[in-house]
Amino acid sequence: MTTPLSRYFLSIALSIFTFSIAAADDWKPLFDGKSFDGWKQLGGKAEYSIEKGEIVGRSVADTPNSFLTTEKNYTDFVLEFEFWVQDGLNSGVQFRSMSKPEYRDGRVHGYQYELDTSSRAWTAGIFDEANRGWLYPVEYNSTARSLFKNEQWNRGRIECVGNEVQTFLNGRQVSHLVDDRAITGFIGLQVHSIRDASHANYQVRWRNLRINTKSPELSRSEDIYIRNVAPNTLSKPEKNRGWEFLFDGKNTAAWKGTSNVDPFNKNGWIVKNGSLTIQPGGKGGQIVTKKTYGAFELDFDFNLAKGANSGVKYFVVDHAEPGASKSQYLGLEYQVLDDKVHPDGVKGAVGNRTTASLYDLIPSYRKVNTRNVPLYIGKWNHGRIVSHLNGTIEHWLNGFKVVEYERGTNIYEVLIARSKYAEIENFGLSEEGHILLQDHKDLVSYRSIKIREL
């Protein structure tokens, strides 16, 4: 099946306004339509052939991931291609990728533009093959999950300039990644290994591959989430959107303590190696932002020692009586916990004290779109809280939305009334509040804490 030509040209016409225009002769075909000159096969033994000027990859049983790769390396470029994938096959387009004897015996690794026929529908998401895994799961931009056309020709586009990557599918932007590496590498057409022998001889096809290395430019980004995996950095597009640091690896000026103890001394919160770390058994106490926030987007990385407990609270206000000697900062909590080891992980109800849960209120989903939501111990996790102008609040963990609710509704009220917060008047209902990091005297580190007001 192919798309009717008229629809195809219409969608090209519509997308022209999004993309930067490069002179026609800045583009070079990446494949001559006749031969594999300039290409070589790496990895598994999937079959690659040329039919009707198209590259056809066919899956083969009992072989690992296979890659037909360019001999040349590319750093900054815009790549365009069309692809057709048989339902049931997973595939991808590698870029800035490598195969080196010293890395896992030549295992192909690097960025992959995902081709995904499954119900997850993450086509055009960015996966770091045989390395860091998913960098831009399409959950971040879930409306883009409907762009892929199953067993039809689709148009892909990859823009790599400096440390930014943008991907497009059928004329719409899918992902926007900022990385700390601007590496060089080959382009490669993947045929994924298959688990089920009945999926042997499944096809993926590519055609009209062309590359622009002369005038590569990033298109103006659509208003989608920008995922920056470079620790403690703010990229230019993030700054343009209004993102600011609450902690950039060094500066703690955005924070103050809530106890009489100075949190930033050797007893409390320690800044070291780009991290803000709770001193185990220390006396730092909670810290809160000096500013308050209403509608906002908060991004942070956290790293839990085994069994450790902390938390990120928001809409935090001081509930102490006027004139009280001690402050009582309370708010809604994004739980941060080694929930498999720490005893609080199984308390509360149906898992509502696990990491990324709205603490003691709403459990974090452990599965989203059939995928397990990962939580790493002793490694960095990525947390995200979005408080929308319309009152909806989202918790994200490692690329998955795991909690969504609305403050002040009848459901919110009953959740509060049947939680440990039942006796606190107007709990979590202030118009604005501080962000708070919780000190449970356990070894927990934070970094890349960023916020933007909505």
What is the dihedral sign for C-alpha 248, 253, 254, 259? positive
- Cβ distance to a copy of itself smaller for residue 270 or 361: 361
What 8-state DSSP symbol labels residue 362? B
The two three-digit tokens of residue 432, written as one number: 């604005």
Beta strands in 213-261 (DSSP E): 227-228, 244-247, 255-257
- Cβ distance to a copy of itself smaller for residue 167 or 352: 352
CA 140 remoteness from chain centre: 6
Helix, strand, or coil (residue 76): coil
What minimum distance in Å lies between the beta carbon of 148 and a copy of itself?
A: 22
Distance CA 397, CA 299 (A): 10
What minimum distance in Å lies between the beta carbon of 405 and a copy of itself?
A: 7
What minimum distance in Å lies between the beta carbon of 144 and a copy of itself?
A: 20
134 close to 101: Cβ distance less than 8 angstroms = no
Give the bridge partners for 47, in sequence order. 58
- Cβ distance to a copy of itself smaller for residue 320 or 414: 414
- Cβ distance to a copy of itself smaller for residue 403 or 437: 403
Instruction: Print burial letters for 218-255: b (CB count within 10 Å at least 16), e (below 16).
Output: bbebeebbbbbbeebbbbebbeeeebebbbbbeebebb
What 8-state DSSP symbol labels residue 149? -
- Cβ distance to a copy of itself smaller for residue 427 or 446: 427
C-alpha distance from residue 348 to each of 337, 355, 362 (Å): 14, 13, 10
What minimum distance in Å lies between the beta carbon of 299 and a copy of itself?
A: 22
CA 90 remoteness from chain centre: 20
What minimum distance in Å lies between the beta carbon of 261 and a copy of itself?
A: 35
- Cβ distance to a copy of itself smaller for residue 178 or 356: 356
- Cβ distance to a copy of itself smaller for residue 348 or 433: 348
- Cβ distance to a copy of itself smaller for residue 273 or 390: 390
CA 347 remoteness from chain centre: 29
For residue 260, how many other CB atoms are within 10 A of its CB?
10
Determine which helix (DSSP H) or strand (DSSP E) holds 415, and give its type and residue range.
helix 410-417
274's torsion region: left (phi>0), alpha (psi -120 to 50) or beta?
Answer: left
What minimum distance in Å lies between the beta carbon of 330 and a copy of itself?
A: 19
147 Cβ contact list (under 8 Å, min separation 6): 123, 124, 169, 170, 172, 174
What minimum distance in Å lies between the beta carbon of 427 and a copy of itself?
A: 12
Q: Residues interacting with a copy of itself, by CB under 8 A?
A: 349-350, 352, 361-365, 403, 405, 410-411, 413-415, 417-419
Q: What is the largest CA-CA distance in the chain?
A: 83
What minimum distance in Å lies between the beta carbon of 352 and a copy of itself?
A: 5
What minimum distance in Å lies between the beta carbon of 397 and a copy of itself?
A: 13
- Cβ distance to a copy of itself smaller for residue 10 or 414: 414
**DSSP states along 125-143:** -EEEETTTEEEE-GGGGGG
What minimum distance in Å lies between the beta carbon of 444 and a copy of itself?
A: 24
- Cβ distance to a copy of itself smaller for residue 94 or 419: 419
- Cβ distance to a copy of itself smaller for residue 235 or 419: 419
C-alpha distance from residue 197 to each of 88, 109, 191, 453 (Å): 12, 25, 14, 51
% helix, strand, coil for the chain, step of 5:
10, 40, 50
What minimum distance in Å lies between the beta carbon of 339 and a copy of itself?
A: 15
